[in-house]
Amino acid sequence: AALLAGRKEKKEVTQAEFVEAVERQIAGLEKKSRRLNEKDKKIVAYHESGHAVIAEVTPEAKKVKKVSIVPRGLAALGYTLNLPEEDKYLMQKEELIAEVDTLLGGRAAEEVFIGKISTGAGNDLERATDILKSMVMIYGMTEVAGLMVLEKQSNKFVGGGFAQSKDYSEKLQEEVDSFIKNTLEQRYKHVKNTLKKYSPVIEKMVEELYEKEVIEGERVRELIKEFENPIKENDEDGNNS
């Protein structure tokens, strides 16, 4: 952030530099020279809009700071930056499920609004799976294993990763797999239904992303508020007359 401020010949580091620093750390440098074709641009716009809307309408989710379809780094064709409203060091079960919902929002938007799915959700699905797996195997947040910790990580560094111990039955492993699969399906269904409800917001977001390529979180909240609280001029005129 300090380097960015210095390049702009600023005497102070502002919020804008901090946000850009976070974005660079998360998604890499902007690659404005890498232009998306119309098909990919459409997919990315719907994908990121899905993430953003689910994050904003899910009470326990991290709120949206920015939505972009400007490619960054080596792989990111677009991204949604979500930041907590305050510093948090612990997460509750409801917050983890909200994170899963937000991650599924991109893939769900592709299916609902485009009718086809792409490879763009690969990392999202991996992260969502890992969250549910941790809830079962590490945090004791489900009835599958109760308070048992099924996966421990040792401090011994082996082959580029931490050695893991497995001391539970194959039957329990099947139950864990079943829980993760079924929960993902349940949350995905919920997310798709939510996106269908907010389809006018998604379409408006996609339209603005096509035009501006970047939307601030405040604009996302504004679009949702306009949808949830429409101004019914005819009713008002009728009441005033």
Active site members: 48
Report residue 147 as tokens: 């308070």
| C-alpha distances in Å from residue 220, one per residue of 10, 26, 94, 224, 238 | 29, 21, 23, 6, 31
- Number of H-type helices and E-type strands within the chain: 9, 5
8 A C-beta contact, residue 213 and residue 70: yes
Name the DSSP letter for residue 68: E
Report residue 190 as tokens: 């919920």
Task: Please count the other Cβ atoms lying within 10 Å of the Cβ belonging to residue 134.
Answer: 13
Report residue 124 as tokens: 């999202």
